[in-house]
Amino acid sequence: MDKQEIIEMEQSYVLGVYSRPPFVLERGEGCTLYDTDGKAYLDCVSGIAVNALGYGDAGINQAIAEAAATGILHVSNLYHTAPHARLAKLLCETSFADKVHFSLSGADANEGAFKFARRYAREKGHQDKYHILAFSNAFHGRLFGSLAATPRPKYQEPFEPLMPGVRFAEFNNLESARAQMDEQVCAIIVEPIQGEGGIHPATPEFLRGLRALADEYDALLIYDEVQCGVGRTGTLWAYQGYADGDEAAVAPDILTAAKPLAGGLPIGAILMRQKVADAMHKGDHASTFAGNPFTTHVAHHVVSRIADPQFLAGVQRKGKLFVDLLEELNSPHIQEIRGKGLLIGVEMDMDVTPLISQAYEEGLILVNAGPTVLRFIPPLIISEAEIQRAVETVGKLLQRL
């Protein structure tokens, strides 16, 4: 089948909720993707912050082979399996958490987190404590609960009514959060670094203040680290980069993760403190595929590699290089460069859609984060030479404007 036939078949049979560029990706190696014409693209998107170890990784391939060799792709959560237990232990040992529950995606993890928060409040005897406080510009997913906490009319309005009981405050504004807080709020959900909303890091004071506010009202603090977690910002968990010697002052009660956890296989996780786990009882939540032994075996390999302090130091170093080189471009079209580690947003003075199309022609895959923000979320294994090449290409495109 040639490229045109594939594109036409997809357009005929696949629901058209995405706009796709006019090439067909076929294989990948390291940080490079190749299309069906053999053209190479340097990937600065990683399947939207998923492929942290790039493409064709030997370690992931080995983990897949090991998992496949057991003959068990799936058994129900009704049974014990070792990979499931091992991954949960690793996630707890590398974070604030005491217990983990697996899910299938980021949105699914957030839905679970909301249920756990409501259950926690009910367990304490509060029947009316079911509200969720979320923030302007947030993105928590496209299911009915997670979408209710994602304040974008374009995404929400066609599907209303959504989950009731969600209220909003202004991101990075503690007074605004305090004004929305009362005894009915069972959870505060926040992205330590907003991803889809344009790469906006929370300030340390904001996260500390939310921690204190949640404690004051016995509400749970949920960090949505679906995009910023698992090494993306140069610490295994983004909140750890805010600790400044006092992790307890910023650690959440629940953390949701997904995207890169299994290097490209679908998985999500809800990390929680013991007090949250204690409120959940047998039969309270379930999912057929979540935490299956195949995916969790691969995820254990991925998380172990990323949790290595040397790997994380490399992410920090490369993130700094990326930002330094972008600044050196000195382009009048760049308004601001934001982010942390390899989660970088460049606010432009224009709609970035044409730039992204031109980058494809130059063999560079980029994505936006809102209309005017170019987002750089490459595989965490990107080399310094590849970073230089990516920024040089962007510089060339900006000079043509």
Ligand X SMILES: Cc1ncc(COP(=O)(O)O)c(C=O)c1O
Question: In terms of CB distance, is 54 or 268 closer to ligand X?
Answer: 268
Stretch that binds ligand X, among 56-64, 135-143, 171-179, 280-288 (CB under 6 A): 135-143
- Distance, in Å, from the CA atom of 359 to the CA atom of 388, rounded to the nearest integer, reads 15
Work out which of 195, 201, 319, 341 binds ligand X, going by CB under 6 A: 195
Q: How far is the CB of 166 from ligand X (least distance, A)?
A: 15
Task: Give, as ranges, the residues between 237 and 296 that touch ligand X (CB under 6 A).
Answer: 258
- Distance, in Å, from the CA atom of 65 to the CA atom of 375, rounded to the nearest integer, reads 33
Work out which of 120, 130, 139, 294 binds ligand X, going by CB under 6 A: 139
- Distance, in Å, from the CA atom of 335 to the CA atom of 325, rounded to the nearest integer, reads 15
Strands (E), 153-218: 166-169, 185-190, 193-194, 200-201
Question: In terms of CB distance, is 214 or 258 closer to ligand X?
Answer: 258
Stretch that binds ligand X, among 89-97, 134-142, 180-188, 320-328 (CB under 6 A): 134-142
Please report whether residue 374 would count as binding ligand X according to CB under 6 A.
Answer: no
> 25 near 42, Cβ under 8 Å?
no
Please report whether residue 46 would count as binding ligand X according to CB under 6 A.
Answer: no
Work out which of 140, 297, 300, 340 binds ligand X, going by CB under 6 A: 140
Question: In terms of CB distance, is 106 or 151 closer to ligand X?
Answer: 106
- Nearest by Cα to 302 from 38, 46, 8, 96: 46
Work out which of 35, 43, 57, 224 binds ligand X, going by CB under 6 A: 224
The residue count for the chain: 401
Q: How far is the CB of 197 from ligand X (least distance, A)?
A: 9
Please report whether residue 227 would count as binding ligand X according to CB under 6 A.
Answer: yes
CB atoms within 10 A of CB 142: 15
Please report whether residue 105 would count as binding ligand X according to CB under 6 A.
Answer: yes
Stretch that binds ligand X, among 67-75, 137-145, 230-238, 278-286 (CB under 6 A): 137-145
What is the per-residue burial (b if ≥16 Cβ within 10 Å, else e) of 175-212?
Answer: eebeebbeebbbbbbbbbbbbbbbbbbbeeebbbbbbe
Stretch that binds ligand X, among 54-62, 201-209, 219-227, 304-312 (CB under 6 A): 219-227
Hey, what are 275's tokens?
A: 């007090």
- List the Cα angle 134/228/88 in 5-degree steps: 95
Binding site for ligand X (CB under 6 A): 48, 105-107, 110, 139-141, 191, 195-196, 224, 226-227, 258
